[in-house]
Amino acid sequence: MSEPTPAENASPRRGGDIDLGSARQLERWMMREIPDHAGPVWVDRFPGGQSNPTFRLETPRRNYVLRRKPPGKLLRSAHAIEREYQVMAALGPLGFPVPKTFGICEDTSVIGSPFFLMELVEGRILWDPTFPEMTPSERRAIYDAQIDTLAALHRIDPVSAGLSEFGRPGNYFARQIARWSKQYRASNPPADEKMEKLMVWLADTVPPETKPCIVHGDFRIDNMVLKKDAPEVVAVLDWELSTLGDPIADLTYFLMMWRAPAGERISLHAVDFDTSGIPTMDDALDRYLSRSGRVLERPIYWYIAFNLFRLAAILQGVAGRAAKGQANNERALMAQERVSPLALAAWDNAREAGAPA
């Protein structure tokens, strides 16, 4: 087998890298589990991925993506690669755009933590949601494709997909607020008055329970692959936070871009909606509602406040792991700086939704 990269003497080594010995173990596993596998295997780590380290595997027959849990002690229910694998394996046969899956391994003796393999889908992954090099019509077409893909996901019946047990019973928002409040506090955060107020107010004002559907949990442009030459979503990636839940939560996580603070990479705060081709938040909301038949049970700003709070709590967890030496890339070390501005933006939206001063 050819030596994988990064090489054994690479410096600095990041948490979760696959060393030469583990790569050899991985190839033996692939020989057993993938009937048409042919080596050798070259391993290279993708940049990004603050939660689960992700790798490109090249072989003579096909290329794969490997997602693994990071090493070390982890927060309970975090890094749920098993759930990622389960939902992609269920959605693919129904025609929803996800990568083909090739197997999951929970034996930690192979590379040191559980992992799964999926196909490497070729296409465009865009990181800047303003699409600066595109025309207004191209920008609008891509935004429409994203919204339509999300509406299509929410139309899939969880029972027909074999995912009826994929989420817990009860109010999705109540569960999510409790979960992220608990994980936020478990991450040893610095004092933040806005986060404390949000955890109380959101829990006291949850929307009524709705019939659950499959939700992605992290639906944004850099978690999807577009066709190289067309505004079409060919694969939705990164299903770690997926569950059965309220589709409006999924939608408003996507809409959070329109209300995110200026320092966030996804923020659309400087966009000229009259000339850019990018829809306004109201336009995006109307397109989704018309294609899904959904309604809002609370002002839109309640849902935006919830999602900004949730993102702040997630980033506090990233910062907590970075402080313990479990960071998976350099950006994780800066996560702490993002928490307070997100909490402030969340509280501003909460005030617009009726939260007291």
**pLDDT tens for residues 281-293?**
999 999 999 999 9
Confidence band for 22, pLDDT divided at 50, 70 and 90: confident
Confidence grade of residue 6 (pLDDT, cut at 50, 70, 90): very low
**If you average pLDDT over every residue of the chain, what do you get?**
89
Token pair of 346, please? 């969340």
| Encoded tokens for 204 | 């006291």
Handedness of CA 138, 142, 147, 148 (dihedral sign): positive
Look at residues 119, 154, 187 and tell me which one is the last residue of a structural domain.
119
In a domain? residue 129: no
**pLDDT at site 53:** 87
Residue 2 has pLDDT above 50, yes or no: no
Q: Is residue 8 one of the residues assigned to a domain? A: no
130 found inside a domain = no
Please report, rounded to a whole number, the percentage of residues in the chain having pLDDT higher than 70.
90
Boundary (domain end) residue, out of 86, 119, 152: 119
CATH code assigned at 114: 3.30.200.20
Residues 170 and 245 in one domain: yes
Q: Which two tokens stand for residue 142?
A: 């891509």
pLDDT at residue 145, rounded to an integer: 98
Residue 265 lies in a domain: yes
d(CA 333, CA 320): 9
**Domain end position, chosen among 119, 149, 165:** 119
Q: Looking at the structure, do residues 157 and 303 belong to the same domain, yes or no?
A: yes
Q: Is residue 7 part of a domain?
A: no
In a shared domain, residues 329 and 204: yes
Q: How many domains, in total, are found in the chain?
A: 2
Indicate whether 237 and 288 sit together in one domain.
yes
CA 75 from chain centre, in angstroms, equals: 17
Q: Is 209 within a domain?
A: yes
Burial of 11 by CB count in 10 Å (0-12 exposed, 13-18 middle, 19+ buried)? exposed
Looking at residue 73, what is its pLDDT? 57
Q: Tell me if 228 sits within 8 A of 194, measured CB to CB.
A: no
128 located within any domain: no
Where residue 26 falls (left for φ over 0; alpha for ψ -120 to 50; beta otherwise) is: alpha
Same structural domain for residues 86 and 193? no
State the DSSP string of 103-115: EEE--TTTTSS-E
Per-residue confidence (pLDDT) for residue 251, from 0 to 100: 97
pLDDT, one tens digit per residue, over 125-169 is 999 999 999 999 999 999 999 999 999 999 999 999 999 999 888
Residues 205, 100 share a domain: no
Same domain membership, residue 145 and residue 103: no
Judgement on whether residues 260 and 192 belong to the same structural domain of the protein? yes
DSSP state of 215: E
Least reliable range by pLDDT among 50-59, 75-84, 181-190, 211-220: 75-84
pLDDT at 78: 54
- Judgement on whether residues 224 and 159 belong to the same structural domain of the protein: yes
Statement: residue 183 has pLDDT above 90: yes
Q: Supply the pTM of this predicted model.
A: 0.85
Task: Let me know whether 103 and 163 are in one domain.
Answer: no
pLDDT exceeds cutoff 60 at 74 = no
From 100, 139, 102, select the one nearest 122 (Cα to Cα): 100
Residues 241-277 have pLDDT tens digits of 899 999 999 999 999 999 999 989 999 999 999 999 9
Q: Considering only CA atoms, which of 174, 184, 242, 240 is closest in space to residue 208?
A: 174
- By three-state DSSP, how is residue 82 classified? helix
> Do 216 and 315 have their domain in common?
yes
Does the pLDDT value for residue 1 go beyond 80? no
Q: Which two tokens stand for residue 135?
A: 């025309």
Q: Which domain holds residue 44?
A: 20-119
Q: Is residue 289 part of a domain?
A: yes
Residue 180, pLDDT > 60, answer yes
Residue 197 has pLDDT above 80, yes or no: yes
* Residue 166 pLDDT: 94
**pLDDT band at 323, cuts 50/70/90?**
confident
